[in-house]
Amino acid sequence: MTYGKTTWLIGDGFWDSHSNGLFNSHESVCVLNTSDKDAEITMTLYFEDRDEMGGFKAQCGAKRTHHIRMDKLKATDGRSVPQDVPYAMLVESSVPVVVQYSRLMSSQPELGLMTTIAYPVE
């Protein structure tokens, strides 16, 4: 059985440029694909004070999970996710998937980890 939706929203993105210790501050878009088909994932970032950034693409294999590290992802034109800038994200998939968002902040000796399920759009 296939679970999930094809459109998801993440309202709070932020990639901190500061890291401390062994772990780098980063974000992940965690995708679960329970279908028999590979999922083609596209992401568009929205900002408070600038135009949106599109062209971020990833794939999640059939009956697999993929933790898409936003600090390692490049748009099709070579741009990276900007650091220290709040943004929101539209995640679209070619097949229904489940999306979760996680953020690791290691700017202080005490690590901060935040995770939330993304908002599914009907």
Average predicted confidence (pLDDT) for the chain: 90
Among candidate residues 91, 93, 96, the one with its CA nearest the CA of residue 70: 91
pTM of this prediction exceeds 0.75? yes
Tokens of 57: 């693409």
pLDDT band at 32 (very low <50, low <70, confident <90, very high): very high
- Give the chain's end-to-end CA distance (angstroms, integer): 18
CATH number, domain containing residue 87: 2.60.290.11
- Per residue in 42-85, pLDDT (tens digit) is 999 999 999 999 999 999 999 999 999 988 999 999 999 998 89
Residue type, 114: M
Inter-residue contact 99 to 58 (CB < 8 Å): no
Q: What is the DSSP letter of 3?
A: -
Half-sphere exposure (Cβ direction) of 110: Cα atoms closer than 13 Å: 1
Query: How many domains does the chain divide into?
Result: 1
State yes or no: pLDDT of 21 exceeds 70.
Answer: no
State yes or no: pLDDT of 108 exceeds 80.
Answer: no
Burial class (CB in 10 A: 0-12, 13-18, 19+), 91: buried
Q: What's residue 116's pLDDT?
A: 79
Domain that holds residue 19: 5-120
